[in-house]
Every structure is written in C-alpha cells, then in structure tokens.
Structure 1
Amino acid sequence: MTVDDVADVRTGDKGDTAIVAVFPRRSEMYDAVLNAMSEDAVASFLGAGVTGPVRRTPMRGVRGIVFEVPGLLGGGVTGSPVLDGHGKCLSYLVATMPLPGLGHPL
C-alpha cells in the first residue's frame, strides 16, 4: 500500500524548504498513516536532497500531517537549478511512498 491508496497530498515551498501536507481520506486511517510516516521514513524516502532534519506536525483537527523538508528545493524558486523549484511535483512523489504494515484501505 502507498500513501496514494489512502490519502491526498499537497506541496508548496518556503524558500528552500518543501512543505508537504498529507490528508488521509478516512478518519480511521489517520493514526496508521501518522505512525507509518515518521520524520525518518519521509527523509529516507525523499533521499539525498534533504539537507536537515524533517519536521512533522500532526494536525488532528483537520486530519492532516504536515512535513517541513529542508533543502529539497535546491535553493528555492528563484535560486533553484532544478525544474520544479516550487516542489509541486513532490506531491506525486510522496504519494508513491510505501506504507509498510498497512493492509488494504478501509
């Protein structure tokens, strides 16, 4: 199972930091997704472009999980040599992240 099987993902940017928000579609999946998407798991999945610790903020009121991922945008919108300086394509990449231990979506 991947993030895309159970959640919607949105991304944005704050300078060189990618902001990734994950919203499980069903409330009963929130805790399982939260447990599967630790800071270390997300950093490992996104790879070598991550330049510092990933920060995760659970937002139970809106059933969302927000990740701040430093360095992933290669300098940010105006300074990045990469094609996607805003990080908008990262939502698709994060959606492909496997969620070990989760069965089929409810």
Structure 2
Amino acid sequence: MGTLVYDLAHARSGDKGNTSNVAVIAYDESAWQVLRRELTAERVRQAYAHLGAGPVQRYEIESLRALNFVIQDVLAGGVTRSLRLDPHGKALSSLILGIELPGNPQ
C-alpha cells in the first residue's frame, strides 16, 4: 500500500480558460522529496484522464517545496462554456490529494 498525496501536502487550484493549474505544497522536507520523486506529470495526467485532460506540465518551486501542474483541456471549455457543477475546477485540488504514490514515505 502506498501513500496518498493528502498525507504529504496540501493543494490549491486555479483556472484560465480551459486550463487548470494545481499547486501541491509539501508539509515538510521529507514530504517534498517524496513528492518531487513520485508525483510525476504522467501520474497526474492519468488521474485526470477521465475528465478529458490533455497534456500536463510540471514545474518545481524549490523555495516553497511546491509543485505546480498545468493541466490542459480539463475544464470542459472553461467557465463560460462548461455545464459542470465546478466550472472553475476548484475541486481538482482535492482530486490530486487522492493520488496514491508507491511505497512508504519514510
């Protein structure tokens, strides 16, 4: 059994058109090391695939112990076009916290 991102970090999301960005901020240095090793752009893309997510870019912000994921085509057209209950994609930060990472964080 692995470790959930939820146990290592908190997350925030934002939107711009049909693109969402989700920031994952580690609780501490050991959590940061696990996240930067295991929370890949491909792992995130797979977690959002059922929403029609396109390419995912990952950016590291070492000074904040944070990863920022830019997820293309995940908001069903964006706020003015989407009929989803969450057109801004604020719940997408909760989805990333549910990703299970392999191994034990210790």
Tell me the TM-score normalized by structure 2: 0.91
Sequence identity of aligned pairs in percent? 35
Partner Cα distance (1:35, 1:82) in 2: 33
Question: Runs of 4 or more off by more than 2 Å in structure 1?
Answer: none
2:53 paired with 1:50:
yes
Show CA shifts across 1:21-80 (max 9, x none).
0001012221211111111110011114112x2000000011110000001111111111
Instruction: Show the counterpart of 1:75.
Output: 77
Instruction: Show the counterpart of 2:68.
Output: 66
Say what the alpha-carbon RMSD is for the aligned residues.
Answer: 1.2
Q: Which sections of structure 1, spanning at least 5 residues, go unmatched?
A: none
Tell me the TM-score normalized by structure 1: 0.91
Partner Cα distance (1:29, 1:84) in 2: 29
Q: Number of residues paired by the alignment?
A: 103
Instruction: Show the counterpart of 1:18.
Output: 20
Q: Which sections of structure 2, spanning at least 5 residues, go unmatched?
A: none
Partner Cα distance (1:22, 1:92) in 2: 10
